């Protein structure tokens, strides 16, 4: 870990002078010397894995909405968790737990009125019923997986997702 004086020398050689940039220096110094807790590192890895899993789910669905079939490039698609990410962290990067939906069937933009039709986040009870009816075996598998307690090795999960992503992008 570099010392404060090493960082200040590096900043000075990069042209960051003390005149008018003390706040900048302090901010950079604070960022560079701040160490992350193991929990913060684990959460950052989990989020990276989730981003990769969402991309894989969208690729597998050929960027088509599971509800209406519309897709990219005309309609933006999102990866949406079936079982909430906040309550099921172990399943958050599980590709099976992510559904590809078009933007209008996934979430409502802030300030807009929810549509009267299907919308994953606006009508969660109806959304889950729809999912159970259309994907019964996947629903059952996810429900069982949800109750299993295990610790995810996020480094290993990221490597597995990278391999899957490479295979799909070929």
- pLDDT at residue 51, rounded to an integer: 97
Separation between Cα atoms, residue 62 and residue 57, nearest integer Å: 9
Dump pLDDT digits (tens) for 23-64. Answer: 565 666 556 557 889 999 999 999 999 999 999 999 999 999
Domain assignments of the chain as residue spans, ordered by start: 4-33, 38-169
**Cα radius of gyration (the chain):** 22
Question: Which residue(s) pair with 71 in the sheet?
Answer: 64
Mean predicted lDDT score pLDDT of the chain: 85
pTM above 0.95, yes or no: no
């Amino acid at each position: 870990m570099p010392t404060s004086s090493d960082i200040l020398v590096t900043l000075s050689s990069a042209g960051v002078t003390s005149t008018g940039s003390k706040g900048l220096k302090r901010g950079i110094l604070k960022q560079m010397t701040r160490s992350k807790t193991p929990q913060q590192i684990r959460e950052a890895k989990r989020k990276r894995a989730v981003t990769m899993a969402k991309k894989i789910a969208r690729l597998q669905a050929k960027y088509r909405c599971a509800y209406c079939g519309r897709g990219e490039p005309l309609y933006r698609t999102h990866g949406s968790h079936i079982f909430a990410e906040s309550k099921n962290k172990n399943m958050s990067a599980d590709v099976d737990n992510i559904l590809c939906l078009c933007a209008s069937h996934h979430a409502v933009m802030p300030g807009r009125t929810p549509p009267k039709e299907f919308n994953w986040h606006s009508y969660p009870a109806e959304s889950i019923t729809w999912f159970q009816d259309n994907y019964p075996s996947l629903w059952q598998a996810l429900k069982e997986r949800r109750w299993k307690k295990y610790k995810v090795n996020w480094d290993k999960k990221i490597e597995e997702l990278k391999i899957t992503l490479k295979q799909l992008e070929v």
